[in-house]
Amino acid sequence: MTNADLIAFKQEQVLADEGLNHEELYCLLKEVKPTGFQRSPDLSYYIRKRQLGFKYPNISGVITMHFSGECWKFKGRFPFNIYRIVCSILALSKNGGHARVVGFKSYSSMAY
């Protein structure tokens, strides 16, 4: 990927810096767009199954969800800002649950 590709991607998607790793986001989208996913859980499953969290460790990791007084963790997921961007760009529908993301830890920040 060239620097021009990355700049064009950021401008086309109207992405603010938001502390994102735009290069990983660009590469992930380029990799998964041809799959034709229609729902966000399909994308999450694809990422976990192929262990893409290790390939995109700055934008993927473990999220903590909360609903009705309970918390649980999901591996191979995105923080809310990235999830929103990916779903928007790929036009993915959500599952419609009421749980909320309350925490995120990227794979790159974890010791292996």
| Residue 73 scores a pLDDT above 90 | yes
**Containing structural domain, residue 43:** 3-109
Q: Determine the average pLDDT of the residues in 1-8.
A: 61
Kindly report the length of the chain: 112
Whether the model pTM is above 0.75? no
Domain total in the chain: 1
pLDDT tens column, 75-100: 888 787 777 777 878 888 876 678 88
Cβ contact 74:49 at 8 Å: no
Note the pLDDT of residue 79.
80
What value does the mean pLDDT take over residues 13-32?
72
Nearest to 77 by CA among 102, 98, 105, 111: 105
SS (H, E, C) 9-39: HHHHCCCCCCCCCHHHHHHHHHHHHHHCCCE
Report whether 92 contacts 38 (CB < 8 A): yes
Q: Residue 12 above 70 pLDDT? A: no
